[in-house]
Amino acid sequence: MTFCAIQSPPVRRYTGEVKIDGYAGMDSLATAVARAIQLPSAKGFAVTEIHPTAVVSPLARLGADVQIGPFCVIEAGVEIGDRCRLESFVTIKTGSKIGCDNKICDHAVIGGGAQHIRAPENPGTIVVGDRNQIREFVTIHRALHAGEQTIVGNDCLLMVQAHIGHDSIIGNNVIITNNALVAGHVVIEDRAYVSGAVAIHQFCRVGRNAMVGGQAHVVQDVPPFVTVDGCSSLVVGLNLVGLKRNGFDSESIRELKNAYRILYRSNLTNGEALEKIRMDFAGKPAEHFHTFLAPSKRGFIQARSRGRQRPLHEEPVKLRVLPGEHPESSENVRQAG
């Protein structure tokens, strides 16, 4: 990744612009059209497009072929890698380092301060990897303390209004969907899927290839490879669809099923079950149940009882069917009241 610094005064690189407090600003709304500017790089010239309404600190570092859209704000010390695309009203705050080939959509804010009543004046940083899609209104906060990092890996998709709290670590190929809330110090492993409106408590962890259903409230660790039901917030089995999509063969899935039965369907204690999994599946994907859950500090989510198919407060719907009628008929159902 090759960086090229925007040197002060930046106005010299923008036709028709003026210098305002060390930043580049437009001199007239009539000039608000995107221009291509040439910044020096190790390979000659890197063409970077910065919309004239954007505010870019002269202390920011931009890679080659970066596009910065209207009304974006790039603060001092920010690093943005090659071929990144920032749409309108994106804010990248001090302490943020963005990798290559990322797409950051409208109104996203990266690098905001931790939402903590004792947040220090000199917080940590945030590192975003490569090839991520960060959609509209996503917020990702810097680490709480200096020397610490909030991390987003590679090839992730963070959908509209997702929030990543301070000091969280998001792995590779993670999908976090609309309005999901990830609190501080959360760890989400590779290829996990967090559905819409999920709330994850601080210090919780989500194992790799797990799926968390919509509106679930996660207050303990989510084991790898499983599905958490959004209604009950309990484990309801393996994430078979996700496993197959990610290339797990039939033998590996069979072993994961056996490990799941040991963990949730045997009469062993949690510690005994994890030790048996470690011994029976050493060197195989199923061993990750032990690797992930053994150091858990908050405990892990338990399985929903086989006889419990809905929340306890919700009674099953019973239709009153008239004698001789078929309940499949919508007209008969309406008449049955």
User: Which residues are identified as catalytic?
Assistant: 166-167, 184
∠ CA 271-273-275 to the nearest 5 degrees?
70
CA–CA gap between residue 244 and residue 86 (Å, rounded): 34
Contact present, 108 and 77 (Cβ < 8 Å): no
Q: Which residues lie below 8 Å from residue 36, measured CB to CB, with a gap of 6+?
A: 47, 48, 49
In order, the DSSP letters of 168-223 are -EE-SS-EE-TT-EE-TT-EE-TT-EE-TT-EE-TT-EE-TT-EE-TT-EE-SBBP
Nearest-angstrom CA–CA distance, 250 and 247: 9
Q: Which residues contact 106 (CB under 8 A, 6 or more apart)?
A: 87, 88, 89, 90, 136, 137
Structure tokens at 219: 């207050």
CA distance 57 to 94: 10
What residue spans of the chain are helical by DSSP H? 240-245, 250-264, 270-280, 288-293, 330-336
For CA atoms 275, 278, 281, 284, give the dihedral sign.
positive
User: How is residue 12 written in tokens?
Assistant: 């010299």
Bridge partners of residue 74, in order along the sequence: 56, 92
Whether residue 223 contacts residue 217, with contact meaning beta carbons closer than 8 Å, is answered with no
